[in-house]
Chain A
Amino acid sequence: MTFLSHIITGLSLGSIYAIIALGYTMVYGIAKMLNFAHGDVIMVGAYVCFFAVTSYQLPAILAVPLAMVVCTILGIVIERLAYKPLRQAPSLAVLITAIGVSYFLQNSAQILWSASPKSFPSLFTVGGNKSLGLFGGQLQISYTAMATVLACIVIMLGLTWFTGNTKMGKAMRACSEDKAAAQLMGINVNFTISMTFAIGSALAAVAGVLMCSAYSYLLPTTGSLPGIKAFTAAVFGGIGSIPGAFLGGVLLGLIETFTKAYISTDLSDAVVFAVLIVVLLVKPAGLLGRYVPEKV
């Protein structure tokens, strides 16, 4: 039974990573940049939801979309102000800018909302219960975990459909392959990139709400480590690939949970990162990534 409950914990943690990683992978695929500020957008989303629920007594069904809208706008604003002017700049300059944005968000949050941790309420309850008891209460599955896994699957399928079948999605794929060619085909590249950031940031908000709902703990730095881990997950699965980000996120969550349960609580991060290194050595482009040799 404990094994089953570890699997459920792992899946729900993994789904959170996967949702963040999906945002990461889309942004990386199109902008070819390591957006280190992504993790902090998660944090902003969680704070917005937190204040909506506690200070303004909004129901979760309204608070979550509100957080998504705020993060979407934030994502577009960040892209326009900080990243767009650097489209032609060396990638290192963009990376440093992203780090600057990350510091900016963290410290703004600290000034606006104080550095003390907030206790996040559980958003997903059915009839006052937080979890569903199975096998006569031996196995407890929290509704948050169910919502997380469900949300993750829906988002993954939705994104796969979106990038494969809609005009916008195809434009995104075209831009990620070759921006100049896409532009010549009449695709508005700047708009497409902005939309990608919008989607990524909206996903970050969802992830933030789900994460804080599961761990009921919120700090200005809440987003940074999950952000890095989710990025690891995206690389793990093959960056730029949507099923890869999903797979990478879920595997990472499972590995982390099982390490905590069976090896060592303190060493879980080391194990996660070690697995990443090993995977990259065996498959340099990640599990589902495509290795593109340099053209001579």
Chain B
Amino acid sequence: MKYTPREPVKLVPVPSTNKIPERDIDKSPILECRHLGIDFGGLAAVKDFNMAIGRTEIAGLIGPNGAGKTTVFNLLTKVYQPTRGTILLDGMDTNTMTTVQVNKAGIARTFQNIRLFNNLTVEDNVKLGLHNQVRYGLWSGIFRLPTYWKAEKQARERAMELLSIFDMGYLAHFKAGSLPYGAQRRLEIVRALATNPSLLLLDEPAAGMNPSETAELMDTIVKIRDTFGIAILLIEHDMNLVMGICEGIAVLNFGQIIAKGTPEEIKNDPVVIEAYLGKKKKEA
């Protein structure tokens, strides 16, 4: 299935895109959302969501529980169809695309509640990420034609290479479902990376991790950006992680962006503090 290339959309600078890191500033953003919104039964779960992410930016999406962060991910990956607004992936409108096409176009993601192929091996999970990278036909698979052997070898090598980047090579032949929690989270990231994305969405990657594991994860995320040269958008509740590695942060509350900026700006933003800690009682 191929997505039809469209006329490159003319980029109109959105007022809020000024947070793109300097090194990405001359290039067009990898992702741009304009007035994105979705209604669930009349209730606007996300409204007027504007955001731009630079080519190699690590961006964070934070906000209280139920603010609509995962819904934004689901909109970007077309698990839900947006009610309003536009998503431009590398300047291309994803309006008519399905989840599968969006992935082929370059967005990969992980899930808040881990979604692995539990009954398959770790290696197979990564090979599934390579599904559209290393291809051969159904019949050459069934009748084991030469293309099968060649492509399978290629897929195996690539999978092992990716796994070894994350020190998971020795786990290749274990069932994904039998892995410990932390390894499962890492495997999900490896699988997403295998699809060769230009934008990686991480949904609460540090959930359930202790501080030392989180610190390790922070290094990993930066390493991913540096090795693969891609943009990363992550949802996270762990403020050490978000403030530590994100270059731009958007704060979501009740489906709306209430603040955007660098970690320093966000930390001191009174609106953000209010959203997290509640309103200060007015003194009489």
Is chain B in direct contact with chain A in the complex (CB below 8 A)?
A: yes
Name A residues whose Cβ lies closer than 8 Å to a Cβ of B.
296
Q: Which A-B residue pairs are the 4 nearest by beta carbons?
A: A296-B79, A296-B74, A296-B111, A296-B70
Task: Tell me the dominant secondary structure on chain A's binding face.
Answer: loop
Binary per-residue interface labels of chain B (40-77) against chain A in the complex, 1 for a CB within 8 Å, 0 otherwise? 00000000000000000000000000000010001000
Q: Which residues of B contact A (CB under 8 A)?
A: 70, 74, 79, 111
Q: Can you name the residue of chain A whose Cβ is closest to the Cβ of B74?
A: A296
Which residues of the partner chain B approach A296 to less than 8 Å between Cβ atoms?
70, 74, 79, 111
B74 surroundings in chain A (CB, below 8 A): 296
Q: Which residue of A lies closest to B71 (CB)?
A: A296
Cα A139 to Cα B103 in complex, Å, equals 66
CB distance from A108 to the nearest CB of B (A): 38
Q: Which residue of A lies closest to B77 (CB)?
A: A296
- Some 4 contacts from A to B, beta carbons below 8 A apart, are A296-B70, A296-B74, A296-B79, A296-B111
- The complex places the Cα of A296 from the Cα of B111 at a distance, in Å, of 8
Nearest CB on A from B259, distance (A): 26
Distance in angstroms between the alpha carbons of A296 and B79 in the assembled complex: 8
Closest chain B residue to A294, Cβ basis: B79
Taking the closest CB of chain B, its distance from the CB of A289, in whole angstroms, is: 17
Distance in angstroms between the alpha carbons of A51 and B29 in the assembled complex: 81
Smallest Cβ distance from A229 to chain B, in angstroms? Answer: 35
Give A40 to B74 CA distance when docked, in angstroms. Answer: 46
B111: chain A residues at CB < 8 Å are 296
The distance from the CB of B82 to the nearest CB of chain A, in whole angstroms, is: 15
Nearest A residue to B70 by beta-carbon distance? A296
Closest-CB distance, A236 to chain B (whole angstroms) = 25
A82–chain B nearest beta-carbon distance, Å = 27
Q: How far is the CA of A205 from the CA of B101 in the complex (A)?
A: 53
Complex CA distance for A296 and B73, rounded to whole angstroms? 10
Q: How far is it, in angstroms, between the C-alpha of A67 and the C-alpha of B111 when the chains are bound?
A: 53
**Which residues in A have their C-beta under 8 angstroms from that of B70?**
296
In the assembled complex, the CB of A296 is this many whole angstroms from the nearest CB of chain B, namely 5
